[in-house]
Amino acid sequence: MAMLDIAELSAGYLGEDVVHKVSLAVAEGEAVAVIGSNGAGKTTLFRAVCGLMRPSHGSVRLDGRPITRRRAHDIARGGLAYVPAERHLFPEMSVTENLDLGAYPKRPSPERRGLVLDLFPRLAERRRQRAGTLSGGEQQMLAVGRALMSNPRVLVLDEPTTGLAPKLAVDAYAALEALRGHGLTILVAEQQVPLALGFADRGYVLEDGHIQLQGTSAALAENPGVQQAYLGVA
Amino acid sequence: MRAVVFDGVVLGLQFGLLGVGLTLVYGLAGVLNLAYGQLAVLGAVVAALRIDAGAPTIAAVLTGLAAAGAVALALDLTLMRPVYRRRGEDRVLLGLLLMLGVAFIIDGVLVWRYPIEALTLRIGGDPVDVLGTRMRTGSLLASAIALGVGAVLVVFLRYATAGKAVRSVIQDEEGAQLCGVSPARVRAFVFALSGVLAALVAVTRSMTSPVTVNAGIDFTILALIVAVVGGLGSVSGAFLAGVLLGVVNTVSAHYIGTYVTTIVLLGAAAVTIVLRPSGLLGAGRE
């Protein structure tokens, strides 16, 4: 059974759906990418999944339990950690405080913190620094680190490479790779298609709010349509 | 001069305590609670009525604090609901107008039902000598309460898990939700707390001068000035601003004249805001 199961989900703004009956599933321990250009509906889809907006139709299940229309904080406590593209860190708090809040309402466990700081040694160096003064790459690390503090069952990331230089974008995916090595289930939305397909087991192509194509990353990378639209192959 | 500054600090601590409740609610919920002073007076009137009825002072005061807290909580859970569904300027404007309406209602009811009620707490004992200045025990007690409550609040916000949750919502509501913090619960808690704090200011104020039913608007205006100068959303900022403004207040009252005090106070506030538009300290930074 899928760890995260999204069935016929529609969502949008002011009564106008942006995402139309999207179905996708992520198995336990699997890494899945949703690829698509700017405005395809990736962010809307993810916001509806993690409870930041109400879907107009469809359902979401986390490890078999329905979480559709539950509030975002409830879903977060239930084991789905969402890392938005804009990070939404607490700018006036230190790196450590940001991480600690990731474990809320539980007390942050030292092992968990150790794991995050091992994954991102940079954060250990900046422990006392205010999150608002970190570089873009460090903020991205902190956002992922904060999400990991709750020991989530599924990590959902919206465009983790937003605002990152090419080398840092590669580093971000290297960190995700390491997390997958730990058995974490990951769903990621990405515009930088080569990076996403290089990382994920499977992918879905989202265009104008519809899933146009799905398959293994290898199959998608071979697909002429994907090559032309996203991989710069003529 | 020293005595004047001392008086200023005593007054300023009250100002600070007054600003705290307003600043937290605004920083957290985007609601400028224009009924803040009325909640303070409501607490004072309830306490005064209990005292009239023969209740022990401490019990009467606690009832007053609880009443103000309960009314604030009820407002958060009912009237403020549509406010929280909005974002940005919309939210600020609707919250401000609704709370202004609440202010008129509380004012009206209190003045109509209890026109001559006033809370005066007489704190006995001879004046105490503090660093060469003779201070009334009422002033000292009021200052001690303000300092104590302020310190507890700052420690709570800085170190307690629940306090960090409050700051997280002030700094980034969506980020807080993603960490599992319920903004609605944090808001309800802080709204109730602000009601209690407002009433507490009226209580400590009544230790040095009577708090009458129509004092609400004065409390609100002072709280607004303190909160804005301190930086909306910052408890330490409110106390810092409170003490500065308190000293400005007594110094100008002593050397220039009471009649221009308000002008000087507003002038000091305006200068601060021009120099530091976000106030002395930033939101949620303790």
Ordered by start, the domain boundaries in chain B are 21-216
- Model confidence at A202, pLDDT cuts 50, 70, 90, reads very high
Q: Is A39 left (phi over 0), alpha (psi -120 to 50) or beta?
A: left
Nearest-CA distance from A82 to chain B in Å? Answer: 6
CB-CB: which of B164, B177, B180 is closest to A97? B164
Nearest-CA distance from A202 to chain B in Å? Answer: 26
Res. B280: pLDDT tops 70: yes
* Per-residue exposure over A38-53, b if at least 16 CB sit within 10 Å of its own CB, e if not: eebbbbbbbbbbbbbb
- The pair of structure tokens assigned to A19 is 């995402």
Over residues A72-127, the pLDDT tens digits come to 999 999 999 999 999 999 999 999 999 999 999 898 999 999 999 999 999 999 99
Which amino acid, one-letter code, is at B156?
F
* Percentage, residues of chain B above pLDDT 70: 98
**Quick one: closest CA in B to A77, which residue?**
B180
Task: Round to whole Å and give the CA distance between A216 and A202.
Answer: 4
What is the model's pLDDT at position A50? 97
**Contact between chains at B177 and A105 (C-beta distance less than 8 A):** no
Res. A1: pLDDT tops 80: no
Whether the Cβ atoms of residue B240 and residue B175 lie closer than 8 Å to each other: no
Using the Cβ of B165 and the Cβ atoms of chain A, whether some distance falls under 8 Å is answered with: yes
Task: Round to whole Å and give the CA distance between B144 and B138.
Answer: 10
Q: How many residues does this entry show for chain B?
A: 286
| Set of chain A residues whose Cβ sits within 8 Å of the Cβ of B175 | 87-90
**Contact between chains at A92 and B167 (C-beta distance less than 8 A):** yes
Res. B132: pLDDT tops 90: no
What is the model's pLDDT at position B286? 63
| DSSP 3-state of A201 | coil
What is the model's pLDDT at position B27? 86
What's the pTM?
0.88
Whether the Cβ atoms of residue A190 and residue A85 lie closer than 8 Å to each other: no
- Model confidence at B3, pLDDT cuts 50, 70, 90, reads confident
* Percentage, residues of chain A above pLDDT 70: 99
Nearest-CA distance from A94 to chain B in Å? Answer: 10
Q: How many CB atoms lie within 10 A of CB A140?
A: 27
Average pLDDT over residues B129-150: 86
Res. A71: pLDDT tops 70: yes
Average pLDDT over residues B130-153: 88
- Mean of pLDDT over chain A: 94
* Percentage, residues of chain A above pLDDT 90: 89
User: Could you report the predicted ipTM of this complex, rounded to two decimals?
Assistant: 0.93
Residue A64's H or E segment, with its range, is: none
| Set of chain A residues whose Cβ sits within 8 Å of the Cβ of B176 | 73, 90, 101
Res. A234: pLDDT tops 70: no
Res. B200: pLDDT tops 60: yes
Nearest-CA distance from B83 to chain A in Å? Answer: 17
* Per-residue exposure over A8-21, b if at least 16 CB sit within 10 Å of its own CB, e if not: ebbbbeeeebbbbe
Compute the count of residue pairs across chains A and B with CB atoms less than 8 Å apart.
83
Average pLDDT over residues B171-187: 95
Nearest-CA distance from A232 to chain B in Å? Answer: 35
CA distances to B6, B143, B151, B214, B251 from B205, rounded to whole Å, are 16, 10, 19, 14, 19
Place of tokens 């709570």: B156
- Model confidence at B269, pLDDT cuts 50, 70, 90, reads confident
Over residues B20-72, the pLDDT tens digits come to 999 999 988 888 999 999 999 999 999 999 999 999 999 999 999 999 999 99
Average pLDDT over residues B243-265: 88
Using the Cβ of B278 and the Cβ atoms of chain A, whether some distance falls under 8 Å is answered with: no
More confident residue, B224 or B284: B224
Least confident of A165-169, B13-17, B271-275: B271-275
CB-CB: which of A77, A88, A150 is closest to B175? A88
Using the Cβ of A53 and the Cβ atoms of chain B, whether some distance falls under 8 Å is answered with: no
- Model confidence at B274, pLDDT cuts 50, 70, 90, reads confident
Res. A183: pLDDT tops 80: yes
Res. A209: pLDDT tops 80: yes
What is the model's pLDDT at position B231? 85
More confident residue, A152 or B129: A152
CB-CB: which of B181, B183, B282 is closest to A104? B181
